A and B are shown apart, each in its own frame.
Chain A
Amino acid sequence: MPSRGILGAALALVLVQPARAQTVSPAPDAVSITVYRDGRVDTADLYDPDSAPEGLVLVTETRTIDLPAGRARISFRGVAEGIVPQTAAIEGLPGEMVERNQDYDLLSPGALIAKSIGKTVRLVRTDRATGETVEQRAIVRSGPDGVMLEIDGELEALRCSGLPERLVFDEAPEGLTDKPTLSLVTRSPEAGRYKVRLTYLAVGVNWSADYVARIRPDGRTLDLTGWITLANRGNTTFTNAPTQVLAGRVQRDDDTRPTEVEAIALAARCWPLPGNGFARLPLLMDAPPPPPPPPRMATPVAEARVEDIVVTGSRIARQEELGDYKLYVLPDPTTVAANQTKQVLMLHEAAVPFERVYGFRVQQDELDDGAAGDDHPASVLLRLQNRKERGLGKPLPAGAVSVMEPDGGRLVLAGEDTIEDAPVGLPVEIEMGEAMDVAVRPTVVRAWTVRKKQRGAIEVAIANDKTVPIRFELAHDSGGWRRGFRIVSSSDRYAEVKGRPTWSLTLAPGERRLVRYTIEAEDE
């Protein structure tokens, strides 16, 4: 053996230290999850591995741990893959916690070499012709980028000769782990079996809300159904877990993310070989080293697929309050499997009255640009009052709304829109698209200046070619930044709605209406 270096001192010190008691908790006894999001999530994104937002899940596990007295290290296996280690918390342990660690020095072919530098391994060569094997002792002299071996005081490179050869190690090096591992160091007064609760945040689970509004044949009420779509993009299955989702905008920080882990690859480069540059020479029996495991990324891997879609809509999730958020408790414990999307009913309200409103917003900026005088279609929106006495009165988490309308005995999609988080008491408006039979034509009929102020006379022609009377809302949008904007005169009564002068009209079937008004703003 060659002489030991200065490091020998340090190593000796480590070796004489008494080994700590090790306890491994292989898996949780039970797990429950709460899924978060920070605002509206498109369900389509949940199905798309590339754009799927990470989401956040609070995992609460109960575990049973047999703890020795004194200082002990407890390793937790079977935690969710997307764990953010710094959020882990444990309750129910006796004594004091000294520290907690996440170790991610991963065992890989490269790490095996790297940890074996200076150590003796066995080199096994197989004779291609006879199949005989020859085994030699060798000392690893360099790392996984190009392995040099010392055999009987001389040096040879690994896998550069073209001979089938492999290294055999007597044991796996200490301190390497198959996957990132969470552990605690505790000091407990006495040995015993303890029930502990481990909680942590993890990424990889997200949820979205979707609504289906079916307009009833009466044309004045609709049935509103709300769905929670829960998507587990990670590789961890939460089995039989009480599950909740939280609606509302939770403040997040970018640093709350899983550890990025990279395994050491075995590159084993050789000296230049003819025609191959620096590559290893491919040979029949010389199987390539296994590829390094892909680095575990914070985002789900691209090949992750959503395979199962489970619809369990017979019961409705219960809504609770949590601080200023809305918590939806799924009716039963459920198994949220890896790469699974699950849908649960969150809301079902029958015969909610609604109003169908046609509308148009005159954009003053567009008038200024001279793009006036053309026919524009009116927009159609459904307006619900989110009140108990109006058949609803439920918080509506942000999501997409599909409006279905009966047409000749069949149901057709009348339009889709998104809504933001809607508390009780506020109107909910669902824009469905453009109306076919209601046309609007705004025209600037005259523009002039009075005492350095600009004035404009505007005429808006509205035509209802439908066979039913309609409610129509005309708004004038001044662009918001114009100083001194006001309506000087108007042919019809108007009110301020959302900061815009708005005319509420009712048009009979076939009616043509002309609204005239004059605006004024500072000349600047």
Chain B
Amino acid sequence: MRNWILASAMAMAMGASASAQPAPAPSPQRKLSVTVYNSDLALVEDVRTLDIASGRQRIEFKDVSPRIRSETVTLSAPGVGIVEQNFDYDLLSPETLMEKAVGQTVRIVRTNPGNGQQITETATVLAVNDGVVLQIGDRIEVLRDDGVPTRVIFDRVPPNLRARPTLSVTVDSASAGRRDARLSYLTNGLSWKADYVALFDEKAGKLDLQGWVTLTNTSGATFDDAELQLVAGTINLVRSQQEYWQREQYARQSRGRTAQAGVEAGEGGGARSAADYYLYPMPERTTIAQNQTKQIGFLDSKGVAAKKAYQYRAWGFQSQDEPTSADVVLKFVNSSSGGLGAQLPSGILRVYMRDAAGEPKFVGESSIPHTPRGSDLAVKTGEAFDVTVQPTLVKSEKVSTWRTRYTMKYVVRNARPEGVTVEVVQPGLWRDGKVLDESLASRRVNASTLAWDVAVPANGETELTFTVETGW
């Protein structure tokens, strides 16, 4: 794993090629496009001008992400056929170099610790097994057996040993010349999520909502001046990345054949819907550095209609010794009429309110799912200090073997200086559940769940009692 990290840090460092391959002439036309998915995955498309000779040749790409999924690499260029693709990760180190030097000659330089005198000899490496065994002339010795400082000098690097993992593609070109080539691959180590900041004004019943894309790059590579787009949605990549990618790859290969270089330009801003997910093209090219968390704003809505609500959800029909705080929930509608109306990719929504001095203070956070336009949002920010609910099972009676009648009492208390309404939700009604008696009118949320809106005066309490009968 360390090799990857290391290689990552130097993605942009230029090294000489260890292999004897002729490198194509540098070309300034390079266009990077990075599409990042929610789940630690990104599609990198790298369009660059390559000078490709006629015939069979190997092209090396050293600047790809070290966390590349090499099985997903596609190189396409007009008039070029792919012979094979290799991803080499035999890394150069003293250890590997010595191992590859078995049977070959090296020079050893001994330094006399007393007077600094140096003696140079030629040696053949016989074996590297828990120590290096050398043949020097007609003697067999172990390297540095005596602890005397000894340098080992190698005259060359074996071609397979590289400073960092390297992608190479062997191609067969019908003609020589410069042309645009498109290299695309999937890589791990890039992911994004949304972060929202909601400044809630309780009195005005409004909130200001800002949305940020938070992109994290630990892939090992830096993507310079890249066109960036983000895909929101749970696409089948998550369940079957391989299968999805294979389909995508076929599509891309056919596109490559028609020499359609370049990336489809997105309309700046707003999300574009592509099939079952949403694409967010970022308005400007940006550099995504290794070990970087990058945030780009994508949403800024002011005056979204919002209100605070109190909720309490019971756990069944039972008594509780201590009162429980009601949940505080921020409710708003993701619609144009409500002042919003944009797809909200999943992420964490952090809510702030102004304190007595007018300073915004954090009041809680919750994650929200991918939220399409028109959805209702209810975000729990915390629990109310002053609004509590205490349930008591007053009576449970057997009606028949499978039916029981429960009488519940909920004491809803409010220590706030203003009246509040608490939604008390009672799950647990099973077959043929019905209300026999209730002190307030209930709502049937679904087959097994009832809800009451309990109004509680300032510094007061309200008792909700009801009797239900339900089968198991």
Which segment of A204-212, A248-256, A305-313 sits at the interface? A248-256
Instruction: Check B289–A105 contact: CB distance below 8 A.
Output: yes
**Known interface pairs A7-B63, A104-B291, A483-B398. Does A272 touch B130 (Cβ–Cβ under 8 Å)?**
yes
Q: Choose from B355, B386, B387 the contact partner of A395 (Cβ within 8 Å).
A: B386
Q: Does B415 contact A (CB under 8 A)?
A: yes
Q: Note all chain B residues with C-beta closer than 8 A to A340.
A: none
Q: Does A3 contact B (CB under 8 A)?
A: yes
Which segment of A231-239, A363-371, A416-424, A455-463 sits at the interface? A416-424
The number of A-B residue pairs with CB atoms under 8 Å apart is 384
Which segment of B77-85, B242-250, B320-328, B437-445 sits at the interface? B320-328
Q: Choose from B15, B290, B293, B384 the contact partner of A102 (Cβ within 8 Å).
A: B293
Q: Note all chain A residues with C-beta closer than 8 A to B13.
A: 114-119, 173
| A-contact bits for B57-77, CB 8 A (1 contact / 0 none) | 001111100000000000000
Q: Note all chain B residues with C-beta closer than 8 A to A323.
A: 202, 308, 328, 353, 363, 381
Q: Note all chain A residues with C-beta closer than 8 A to B115.
A: 129
Instruction: Check B151–A161 contact: CB distance below 8 A.
Output: yes
Instruction: Check A7–B62 contact: CB distance below 8 A.
Output: yes
Instruction: Check B154–A58 contact: CB distance below 8 A.
Output: no
Residue with the highest number of chain B CB atoms closer than 10 Å, among A161, A201, A324, A325: A324
Q: Note all chain B residues with C-beta closer than 8 A to A248.
A: 325, 382-385
Instruction: Check A421–B385 contact: CB distance below 8 A.
Output: yes
Q: Note all chain A residues with C-beta closer than 8 A to B12.
A: 7, 10-11, 14
Instruction: Check B130–A277 contact: CB distance below 8 A.
Output: yes
Which segment of A151-159, A221-229, A405-413 sits at the interface? A151-159
The chain B residue sitting closest to A161, CB to CB, is B151
Q: Choose from A99, A102, A264 the contact partner of B6 (Cβ within 8 Å).
A: A264
Q: Does A294 contact B (CB under 8 A)?
A: no
Instruction: Check B14–A99 contact: CB distance below 8 A.
Output: no
The chain A residue sitting closest to B288, CB to CB, is A101
Residue with the highest number of chain B CB atoms closer than 10 Å, among A132, A139, A175: A175
Which segment of B37-45, B231-239, B294-302 sits at the interface? B294-302
| A-contact bits for B316-354, CB 8 A (1 contact / 0 none) | 001111110100100000000000000000001010010
Which segment of B88-96, B254-262, B369-377 sits at the interface? B88-96
Q: Does B23 contact A (CB under 8 A)?
A: yes
Instruction: Check B225–A13 contact: CB distance below 8 A.
Output: yes
Q: Does A299 contact B (CB under 8 A)?
A: no
Instruction: Check B153–A156 contact: CB distance below 8 A.
Output: yes
| B-contact bits for A177-220, CB 8 A (1 contact / 0 none) | 00000000000000000000001010000000000000000000
Q: How far is the CA of A6 from the CA of B416 in the complex (A)?
A: 69
| B-contact bits for A296-331, CB 8 A (1 contact / 0 none) | 000000000000000000000000111111110000
Which segment of A46-54, A141-149, A375-383, A437-445 sits at the interface? A141-149
Q: Does B263 contact A (CB under 8 A)?
A: no
Residue with the highest number of chain A CB atoms closer than 10 Å, among B26, B366, B381: B26
Q: Note all chain A residues with C-beta closer than 8 A to B26.
A: 4, 6, 8-9, 12
**Known interface pairs A114-B10, A161-B150, A500-B319. Does A269 touch B289 (Cβ–Cβ under 8 Å)?**
no
Q: Does B56 contact A (CB under 8 A)?
A: no
Q: Does A434 contact B (CB under 8 A)?
A: no
Q: What is the number of residues of chain A that contact chain B, defined by CB distance less than 8 Å?
A: 129
Instruction: Check A162–B147 contact: CB distance below 8 A.
Output: yes
Instruction: Check B151–A10 contact: CB distance below 8 A.
Output: no
| B: interface residue count bin | 35 or more
Q: How far is the CA of A100 from the CA of B97 in the complex (A)?
A: 43
Which segment of A85-93, A351-359, A464-472, A504-512 sits at the interface? A85-93
Q: Note all chain A residues with C-beta closer than 8 A to B193.
A: 255
Q: Does B145 contact A (CB under 8 A)?
A: yes
Q: Note all chain A residues with C-beta closer than 8 A to B291.
A: 103-106, 261
Q: Does B5 contact A (CB under 8 A)?
A: yes
Which segment of B155-163, B424-432, B446-454 sits at the interface? B155-163
Instruction: Check A6–B50 contact: CB distance below 8 A.
Output: yes
Instruction: Check B413–A271 contact: CB distance below 8 A.
Output: no
Q: Does A274 contact B (CB under 8 A)?
A: yes
Q: Note all chain A residues with C-beta closer than 8 A to B230.
A: none
Residue with the highest number of chain B CB atoms closer than 10 Å, among A102, A271, A283: A271
Instruction: Check A423–B413 contact: CB distance below 8 A.
Output: yes
Q: How far is the CA of A367 from the CA of B39 in the complex (A)?
A: 55
Instruction: Check A155–B153 contact: CB distance below 8 A.
Output: yes
**17 additional contacts (CB under 8 A) given A114-B6, A141-B15, A199-B360:** A2-B17, A6-B50, A6-B61, A105-B289, A117-B10, A118-B14, A143-B7, A146-B93, A156-B152, A161-B111, A249-B325, A269-B93, A270-B94, A271-B99, A274-B143, A425-B459, A481-B318
**Chain A interfacial positions (CB closer than 8 Å to B):** 1-14, 16-17, 32, 34, 36, 38, 56, 58, 60, 85-89, 97-106, 110-111, 114-119, 127-130, 132, 139, 141-148, 153-157, 160-163, 173, 175, 199, 201, 244, 246-253, 255-256, 259, 261-262, 264-265, 267, 269-275, 277-278, 281, 283, 320-327, 395, 420-421, 423-426, 480-486, 496, 498-500, 522, 524
